[in-house]
Amino acid sequence: MGFAVNLVFPTGEFNNKTYPPTQSVTSPQNEGYDVGVGGHFTLSFPVDPHLALRLNLGYQVCNGSNTASGYSKIDLQHQMFSIGGEMQFFVDSAYRHRGTYFIAGLSADFERFERTYSTGDWHDYHDDGYYDDNTDTTRKSRMGAVAGIGHSFGYSQGGRFTLEATFHKTISGNDVDKSEPPSTDFVKVSFGWVF
């Protein structure tokens, strides 16, 4: 079993995307997310001296913003709960969870996108002249692919510390032509403990 604390570094359009002007927003919109934080719990099952199958349960949060010239800033928040199935290829020993290992797998990602508008923004104007419901929430279930490298520090007995760097790529539900959110792509650096 293992626990880890994660730093999430958005990449690609998840880090920065520019939307062209529309009828309701006449300026280009720049949207992106900052470095996020999270954690995960893992169960690793060795099936070979150099191969283990791993269940990975993770959660993370990234905050960001959407800005357009002449409009108030929109605050963004992205939350994601993931259930992953991964293979760990150990150079040394999968049974002892020791040394360098490579990671490859898939994840089911349950995402929540929140957009919070400033009071009095253009978003939610009603006939009675009042603004309300200033937070939009979108939920999305998608598949992701994961690849990375890790290292397990410690002795043959007892717990040991781990350091991992993995890349996550959304592989379904990211068709912008269907108004789906851009891929949630990021590099995740994890500091953990396995026992």
The dihedrals phi and psi of 172, each to the nearest 5 degrees, come to: -150, 155
Beta strands in 154-195 (DSSP E): 160-170, 186-194
pLDDT tens digits, 153-176: 976 666 789 999 999 999 999 988
CB of 55 within 8 A of CB of 82?
no
- For the chain, what is the mean pLDDT? 90
pLDDT on residue 139: 94
Q: pLDDT tens across 49-79, in order? A: 999 999 999 999 999 999 999 888 999 999 9
Question: Is the pLDDT assigned to residue 121 strictly greater than 90?
Answer: no
Amino acid at 118: S
Q: For residue 121, what are the CA distances in angstroms to 24, 39, 132, 177? A: 12, 35, 10, 27
Residues 90-115, mean pLDDT to the nearest whole number = 95
Residue 183 DSSP label: P
Q: Is 31 exposed, middle or buried, given 0-12, 13-18 or 19+ CB atoms closer than 10 A?
A: buried
pLDDT range class, residue 122, cuts 50, 70, 90: very low
pTM reported for the whole predicted model? 0.87
Over 50: is that where the pLDDT of 124 sits?
Answer: no
pLDDT-derived band at 24 (thresholds 50, 70, 90) equals confident
CATH of domain 2-194: 2.40.160.20
H/E stretch holding 14: helix 12-15
Q: Which residue has the tokens 């040991």?
A: 160
Percent of the chain exceeding pLDDT 70 equals 90
